[in-house]
Structure 1
């Protein structure tokens, strides 16, 4: 089928106009709006909401007819069972598309429900390869997966940090364990010795036994697969136990909240993390403008995922415009072929639904602020 793509800007510029009744386009969002990761889920929800507000403010049309977007947000508390309940609720309400879920552990089980209902789903943050490798044609993501994230972190640990012995900890979630496994695999290939492979859970607060065991093995680096709500206390307890090595992790600990959660005793540049996404120097001005607009709208700094959920929502709208329909069956083929110039870069997908040419950004923390190291592709 030959797909004719219409620039989104041209459709936005057309204005609402006319006296036609507005079609309501329902966009679902699901993420942790409560619990330990609520600050991240709220951030992602805010990004999608800002996109919906922009689409409505600019008078978006589909096939020349005015439409009104509404965001229908559901809380999954980062729990797989609650995620499937939320997904089924949105499917029953016949939403036109879904932005979410936040974590791999919730996105993966929910994806089958959306696939069975024929509803396109774009995650702004789920990184487990399993999510897209199920080969559901309704499943997409706008960030690089853990294969790339783990490999890049492993490469950096060896080449830039000079690590030879590494301890690896994960929180047993699909995200945390998957990322830790990919990092360990990459590090081993580079000649690193994995001296400890430990695990905790995503609600844990006491790591004394794990860290005491790790300290005895004198690693050059500790890698943690999990979220900041666990990674922060882990870093604080590493310091208390005299473990002076750096802590490395993925985007789950690469948040503005991490210094607060880790405590002020954590020294500058002791945490190294990678965000599954990133902007080139040419995009930095656009990202800075978005961050300022986000802060003005919500009265707080953006965490990580808001720009990605914003772009995911806009890419979904662009596919609807190109298909001249918000019907999931009709716009889904256009979403698979979309090429949307977003804040975070061009949103375009490979045959599995993974982002094409996804970037990664390495960060550390200085003076309590997340500080860029480099963007890699």
Structure 2
């Protein structure tokens, strides 16, 4: 009886004591579409986050002098807002202390409300809608420029570099695609007559047949077609433009600007036909660091970097730096530090504006030559 009582007392003591395993484990969530038409982009960000977690563990990164086990919990949001909120709640319930995600603006915004309510910091490596950081959530940050900057930059490029006069605009009606197209149109209006929108058309993010809208656009003889959406739609659209004999330049944002676009568009991607902007980028002195990351990524995953893996990597490292400076992985303790962080990452110098936007955000213009994405210039 004494032995049984002693065992019961010991069990109760264990139940009351904090879990040593829980103290040693820092869980970071990754939310992105790893199924569906943008799965290649979602897997790209997930892999970037995973590489950072592996590096932290290999380095024996500590918090307040104590060794911890860095853990990545991954969830597939399918690029769908409803699935995104379900995934966000699942990560919160799993005890993550930070989230890298989401990829799409349409999933990032609704999910951000759940993380905000739970007090969990979130860094999106890719979402560009201005709405994300206009909600007043102190937990929301991003590592890329927003659509206000992207749309304006693309409009300037179309007017000043491409010398376009007539532009047609298509978007996929998603939060990202429509938002980017709207910002581009604002940039066109700001050009004070240098550009004119001659057609505004709509599709959806799962469409494959664009003959009706492209036929209407062809009649307007545009110099440039602007598309707000992702590469899974842009590829077939370029093919059908070629089939209809539309010789206009094709301009778009980061959703199109992937390594996979030439596979989706085939020879319709052309030479210098497509211009796209990534809402991020590095200057000359940082190119060697990014090249090293790209090579390590290629060796680890046997894949090419699509677009945002480096930003997901930096998101994890920024979280880790904030926790180390705060000497705590408790979100309430490290969030104020995160808001004021100064971190030199793979993608350059990282600091945040008071609303969570990236300070001094860069944009990189790309085109496609010989079937490969080719860098044109970085602007800030």
TM-score, normalising length: structure 2: 0.93
Aligned residue for 1:320? 323
Aligned residue for 2:98? 97
1:302-352 per-residue CA deviation (whole Å, 9 max, x = no partner) reads 100000000011001000001000001110001001111001011110000
Aligned residue for 1:185? 186
Counterpart selection for 2:227 from 215, 224, 229: 224
- For residues 125-144 of structure 1, the aligned pairs below 5 Å read 125-144=126-145
* Mapped partners of 2:80, 2:166: distance in 1: 34
- Report SS of the residue matched to 1:127: coil
Superposed displacement of residue 236, structure 1 = 0.9
Counterpart selection for 1:308 from 302, 311, 324: 311
Superposed displacement of residue 265, structure 1 = 3.6
Aligned residue for 2:146? 145
**Larger Cα-atom Rg:** 2
- For residues 286-301 of structure 1, the aligned pairs below 5 Å read 286-301=289-304
* Mapped partners of 1:157, 1:196: distance in 2: 16
Superposed displacement of residue 300, structure 1 = 1.1
Aligned residue for 2:118? 117
1:58-85 per-residue CA deviation (whole Å, 9 max, x = no partner) reads 0011000001110000001100000000
- Give structure 1 stretches of 5+ with no counterpart: 1-19
CA contact (8 A) 1:239 1:266 kept: no
Aligned residue for 1:57? 58
Superposed displacement of residue 94, structure 1 = 1.9
- Report SS of the residue matched to 2:359: coil
Residue 353 in structure 1 maps to residue 356 in structure 2: yes
Superposed displacement of residue 276, structure 1 = 0.4
Residue 205 in structure 1 maps to residue 208 in structure 2: yes
CA contact (8 A) 2:254 2:278 kept: yes
TM-score, normalising length: structure 1: 0.94
Superposed displacement of residue 189, structure 1 = 1.5
Q: CA RMSD in A?
A: 0.9
Superposed displacement of residue 202, structure 1 = 0.3
Counterpart selection for 2:371 from 364, 368, 373: 368
Aligned residue for 1:11? none
